[in-house]
Structure 1
């Protein structure tokens, strides 16, 4: 199957590096594939009684530059790639971004940086697989 636009979820973990590597290989096979790499900064929410408090969070430009530099080390052809950094709920933001760019495949690692919250809350990859309208490749 030929995928013209592949969204790759990237959080800096070893598994997300493997997911990025898999997406790069798929893009090479398809010659015309465009990679959309998204890094989502999770915004914490606090529930106090019936109120939900979301503290103001600014994207740390140094951290963002580190993530972009880390991604660019893995890329052989950065011309056919876009790197996006967003804030929000990771699974929801990945799905919204895939829809926004009209992707036809999502590539995501099976685990992220925070295995404890994945165990308690359900993993990002599981939520993406359950709610995606397009194929999802989960990399272990």
Structure 2
């Protein structure tokens, strides 16, 4: 049975662009299927002992503007599909993607093998690895050639 609801995670990286393009192609070739595109943003905070230090408000506003810009970019890449929804999520990227997939009934997650996360680059595709290990549905990981 073909996949009916694909979820593409998008962060603006080259691999997430490739993942979104692949998801669009899959939906286009499967009549009746639909696509959800999510972008997850995270406002960093630092916990020291019992104190929590949050990012400055100006940084949060800049981060939110960038997140909205990336989601608009993703919408434009998927504009050829009539049955596409988008969502801007906040929190840990891998957990947010998994939660969205479960709550909205996605039956395939399409994700790039590496994204834009600075710390995540120290680990081998930590977000995609976590999603693959914990997803309850198949995951298609797109690697750069």
Is residue 75 from structure 1 mapped to residue 78 from structure 2 by the alignment? yes
CA contact (8 A) 1:45 1:55 kept: yes
Is there any run of 5+ residues in structure 2 with no aligned partner, and where? none
CA contact (8 A) 2:68 2:88 kept: no
CA RMSD in angstroms comes to: 2.3
Is residue 46 from structure 1 mapped to residue 46 from structure 2 by the alignment? yes
The residue aligned with 2:5 is 5
Is residue 94 from structure 1 mapped to residue 93 from structure 2 by the alignment? no
Is residue 131 from structure 1 mapped to residue 134 from structure 2 by the alignment? yes
In 2, Cα distance between the equivalents of 1:93 and 1:121?
19
The residue aligned with 1:28 is 28
In 2, Cα distance between the equivalents of 1:65 and 1:43?
14
How high is the TM-score relative to the length of structure 1? 0.86
In 2, Cα distance between the equivalents of 1:107 and 1:123?
15
Shift of 1:99: 0.3
In 2, Cα distance between the equivalents of 1:116 and 1:65?
22
Is residue 104 from structure 1 mapped to residue 107 from structure 2 by the alignment? yes
CA contact (8 A) 1:5 1:35 kept: yes
Is residue 15 from structure 1 mapped to residue 15 from structure 2 by the alignment? yes
Is there any run of 5+ residues in structure 1 with no aligned partner, and where? none
In 2, Cα distance between the equivalents of 1:78 and 1:136?
21
SS of the residue corresponding to residue 27 of structure 1 reads: helix
